[in-house]
Amino acid sequence: MSAAVRKWLITGVSSGLGEALAKAVLSRGEVVIGTLRKPEQLAAFEALAPGRAHALELDLRDYPRVLDVVTAAAQRHGGIDVLVNNAGYGLAGALEEVSEREARDQMETNFFGALAATQAVLPSMRAKRWGHVVNITSMAGFMGIPGMPIYSASKFALEGLGAALAAEGGALGIRVTNVEPGALRTRWASSNAIVRSERVIEDYQKTAGAVRGGLEQMDGHQDGDPAKAALAIIAAVDAEQPPLHLPVHPSAWNTYRSVLQQTLEQLDTWRKVSEDILYD
């Protein structure tokens, strides 16, 4: 959809891709309702474009409040045209190292928060017979990353949610794009942003430990520009036929293609075993 003024709701606009996307959308004269966790950040966001930048204090781990706040925002602004489920964080730790609480916190933010926000905007999208839900997933949404299994699970879940919604909502004019970013130069990989499991098991140092070390080395050196990634997302929303999947980074595109090729090869290898299960 290309329109003079659209109303976007973007979660997690304080930094990184969310901030870049909010600024890009505002620069086009459109409206952004952005969520932030810290009350002291609200005024600065609204100052970006007075009257068009609207800040919401919101913790995505509070499912009922996300439903209430986003529903109220949709009603106040006459519906939401584009929802971007962007807010989230990474949890580093091997599967055996991660505690139940650490895993649940990860899923509450990365998946259930997005679920609640999506459920809250769908009524207005159905009523208008138009809307676009953009899920910011990850390369971890199409390949399991050792050392980040719960993060991977949260992104696989968001990918599945988006694919199912695309099938359910397509006839109602609701479109979905799952965005799979590669290495963008944000604070996502910083020591202040990544949560590390409290438990560390020596046997996993060559896998999970290597990932932890890699994140520290990568921080600040990523070659992906969040501002350009934001423009790619806007292009998908503007498109008459937007993609369900949008890798944004050469490494994301190449890795996605490689994963698909390897999957096809494995399917072919095991085809006879897979098919030979019917009644005689």
User: pLDDT value at position 64?
Assistant: 96
Q: What is the mean pLDDT of the chain?
A: 92
User: pLDDT value at position 44?
Assistant: 96
Rounded to an integer, what distance in angstroms lies between the CA atom of residue 58 and that of residue 54?
A: 13
> For the purposes of burial, counting CB atoms within 10 Å of the CB of 2, is it exposed (0-12), middle (13-18) or buried (19 or more)?
exposed
Answer yes or no: is pLDDT of 215 > 90.
no
Higher-pLDDT residue of 192 and 181 is 181
User: pLDDT value at position 4?
Assistant: 62
User: pLDDT value at position 193?
Assistant: 66
User: pLDDT value at position 81?
Assistant: 98
Q: How confident is the model at residue 210 (pLDDT cuts 50, 70, 90)?
A: confident
Domain boundaries, given as residue ranges, for the chain: 7-253
Enzyme catalytic residues? 151
Mean pLDDT calculated for residue range 266-273: 97
User: pLDDT value at position 211?
Assistant: 81
Architecture in CATH for domain 7-253 = 3-Layer(aba) Sandwich (3.40)
Q: Which of 72-86, 135-149, 203-217, 261-275 has the lowest mean pLDDT?
A: 203-217
β strands within 19-167, DSSP E: 31-36, 53-57, 82-85, 91-92, 131-136
Answer yes or no: is pLDDT of 192 > 90.
no
Q: Which of 115-124, 177-186, 232-241 has the lowest mean pLDDT?
A: 177-186
CA angle at 71 for the pair 67 and 72, rounded to the nearest 5°: 120
| pLDDT one-digit tens code per residue, 119-158 | 999 999 999 999 999 999 998 889 999 999 999 999 999 9
Mean pLDDT calculated for residue range 65-83: 97
Neighbouring CB atoms inside 10 A of 195's CB total 18
Rounded to an integer, what distance in angstroms lies between the CA atom of residue 107 and that of residue 94?
A: 16
137 and 155 in contact (C-beta within 8 Å)?
A: yes
Residue 177 β-bridge partners: 134
Answer yes or no: is pLDDT of 100 > 80.
yes
User: pLDDT value at position 1?
Assistant: 46
User: pLDDT value at position 191?
Assistant: 53
User: pLDDT value at position 83?
Assistant: 99
| pLDDT one-digit tens code per residue, 22-67 | 999 999 999 999 999 999 999 999 999 999 999 999 999 999 999 9
Mean pLDDT calculated for residue range 68-72: 97
- Say what the pTM is: 0.93
